[in-house]
Amino acid sequence: MDYPPIPKPGTDPDKDAWIANFYMENHLAYEAFPDKVASPEQLKFIVWLEDEPYFYPCTDAIFHSIINKTAGEELVMRYMKVWEKIEPLVKSIIEDRYQRKYLLAMLQIKFRRESAPLVMLPTRLEKRLLQIFVTVSEIARPLSREKEAMNRRAADLLDSDAFKTAFNDLDGLDRAAGTDLEKLNIEIIFLQLKRLLCLTCHPELWTGTTDMSTEHLRELMKGPEAGMAQEHLERLKEFIRLGQSGQETRYYLWMGPTAGSVMLDIAIIRILIKLNIKVIMSVKHAFYYHSITMADIIEDPVLQDALHDADIITNINISKNELLNRLKSDKHLFVISDGTQERFNPLLSSVTFARAFKECDHVISRHPDDSPCLLKTRFQFTRDITVITSHRPGSIIIELKPHHPGVIRFSEKDLRLRAESMILHLKMARKQGKTIMFYSAIVGSIPHQIETAKRILNVFVGYLREKQEGVVVINPGEHFEKGMDADDIMYMWEIVQRSGVIDIWRFQTVHDIEKSFELMGEKVPPEWVGKDATYSTGCTKEMQIAMEVQKEHPEMQIIGPSWEKFMRRKEYGVGKLYDRAFGEL
């Protein structure tokens, strides 16, 4: 169903107030919760937001029913499904009768209070109840024994002779489709992936006792007649071809592994690795039923063994440089936390997850709870997403959500080539006897002053070029391309800055800013009085780099405020050119 667009802010005050209330009540308003909710810049790493005034982590149907105040029986039923998962969870884990009744009473109070106004998203209600459950019960890893047992059964299955015999059976291989060894290899890989995927939709293999004979496994690997439609199989085959095409390493983000099934997921990932694909597996930050969490990764001996050669990235706020350096290592499998305790929600995802999403070539979603937020929404994302789920035993669904056609991606290779091209031109200028000056200035550190900052930068660089003979002055603002964000720009410039081609690194001073306004025939406005490069987090990072470069190239001159004055800034905001704290003033 197509829903009418939500009016843009500023057209209907009552609607604006109700929408603001929706985001506040669900703790999804960045303005109110900047330390928990992703900034608009970070959100754009994942979601295409051009001309979109709002993003909501739910289906269109749920959002519009709440915003239009038509939420009724359907929303109440979704609330009840949340309770139907929470109540048996508590009863199955809490053995003490008094504590069990006390905890259920607390959860019921919270459930009634939060669900009554019909403005709370069911997923957000579920998270709040889970947080209360974990906090009050003081159980560090709920369901840990059950999940570890499921992982053990799945691992034993993959290690069994019956599985190996069934998995390597030539029956079902379309030899006619492989007219040469390369094509035949694709058919073999396709058949292996199909067999593993068919097993992922049979939870009885790791949740209880079932027939583990070779013949039974052969039947399960074939899939039921209607289990995998031909179109789904063709999508899977195309998935393999994309993996094999080209010499460059590709990066896939693998979301939503669950207990038991995760062992088959890892087996699939091992096959993808053979196709020159590096895989980033994202897990939950905190307990979410049978979903794998970072605590499971660290403490479950079965997962420890299965991921013995993986790079476990526990930092949830990793920088672009560090992430790319980790990805370029000799490792092929990486594990990160998505930063959440609920289904797919870009508004609450960790910085590391957002950056991994941005840097990957393709996203694979494996959790059925995530599919509504991906498929039943008007939003498109910055990467192609393949949703591979099973809604009932024996069936598997493969659906593709293409990325928005307007997405412009600058890969690490693209940024490096741009930087290297710039370095080449600068080296040629130096051979001609010219001096290379890099100018670092405030761009976005003063809220709502970006355009003014660009004017100041351009006017002063123009002044320097006119005033100085035989000097090439680099103005970073002149090399911005559509689609670049601050992460891309900072990464590209750092390559240039560390190349050793810069003779003079000049940092913006108070005098520079005053001179710029003088050249523009304007007085210095209050928000710019006394400002210089020390006010910019980006410039602070660049001063750090400049001092490191100067140690290797002592002949490089640094002009501007002293290093000590830069100490007030430590890190720039995600996807921003300015410090987060100052963006909130």
CATH code for the domain of 204 = 3.40.50.10880
Residue type at 204 in one-letter notation: E
pLDDT digits (tens, 9 = 90+) for 471-524: 999 998 888 788 888 889 889 999 999 999 999 999 999 999 999 999 999 999
According to DSSP, the residues that pair with 279 across neighbouring strands are 252, 333
Cβ neighbours of residue 360 closer than 8 Å, sequence gap 6 or more: 251, 252, 253, 280, 383
- Domain shared by 306 and 443, yes or no: no
Beta strands in 8-87 (DSSP E): none
Residue 134 backbone phi and psi in degrees, to 5 = -65, -40
pTM: 0.89
Is 7 a domain residue? no
**How many CB atoms are located within 10 Å of the residue 118 CB?**
14
48 vs 396, residue with greater confidence: 48
Nearest alpha carbon to residue 512 among 526, 524, 494 = 524
Give the domain-ending residue among 370, 401, 432. Answer: 401
Cβ neighbours of residue 376 closer than 8 Å, sequence gap 6 or more: 59, 60, 61
- Domain shared by 216 and 289, yes or no: yes
- Domain shared by 131 and 280, yes or no: no
pLDDT digits (tens, 9 = 90+) for 57-95: 999 999 999 998 888 788 999 999 999 999 999 999 999
- Domain shared by 72 and 221, yes or no: no
Tokens of 136: 């009050």
- Domain shared by 132 and 149, yes or no: no
Helices (H), 432-473: 450-467
Is 323 a domain residue? yes
DSSP state of 174: -
- Domain shared by 362 and 436, yes or no: no
What is the b/e burial string over 400-414, where b = at least 16 CB atoms within 10 angstroms of the residue's CB?
ebebeeebeebebee
- Domain shared by 433 and 556, yes or no: yes
C-alpha neighbours within 13 Å on the C-beta side of residue 301: 4
**How much is the pLDDT for 335?**
98
Measured distance CA(283)–CA(325) in Å, rounded: 21
pLDDT digits (tens, 9 = 90+) for 230-252: 666 676 677 667 666 667 788 99
165 vs 238, residue with greater confidence: 165
Tokens of 410: 């600058």
Is 101 a domain residue? yes
- Domain shared by 336 and 201, yes or no: yes
Give the domain-ending residue among 354, 374, 401. Answer: 401
According to DSSP, the residues that pair with 333 across neighbouring strands are 279
Is 6 a domain residue? no
Give the domain-ending residue among 137, 156, 172. Answer: 137
- The model's confidence at residue 582, banded by pLDDT at 50, 70 and 90, is very low
Q: Is the pLDDT of residue 545 over 70?
A: yes
Cβ neighbours of residue 171 closer than 8 Å, sequence gap 6 or more: 218
- Domain shared by 438 and 537, yes or no: yes
Is 340 a domain residue? yes
Q: In what order do the strands lie in the sheet with 435-440?
A: 471-474, 435-440, 504-507, 557-559
Tokens of 375: 């498929």
- Domain total in the chain: 3
Measured distance CA(347)–CA(377) in Å, rounded: 15
According to DSSP, the residues that pair with 250 across neighbouring strands are 277
- Domain shared by 358 and 380, yes or no: yes
- Domain shared by 318 and 465, yes or no: no
**How much is the pLDDT for 576?**
60
- Domain shared by 172 and 247, yes or no: yes
DSSP state of 400: E
**How much is the pLDDT for 569?**
53
CA 415 to the chain's CA centroid: 20
Average pLDDT of span 15-26: 95
50: containing domain: 13-137
Is 251 a domain residue? yes
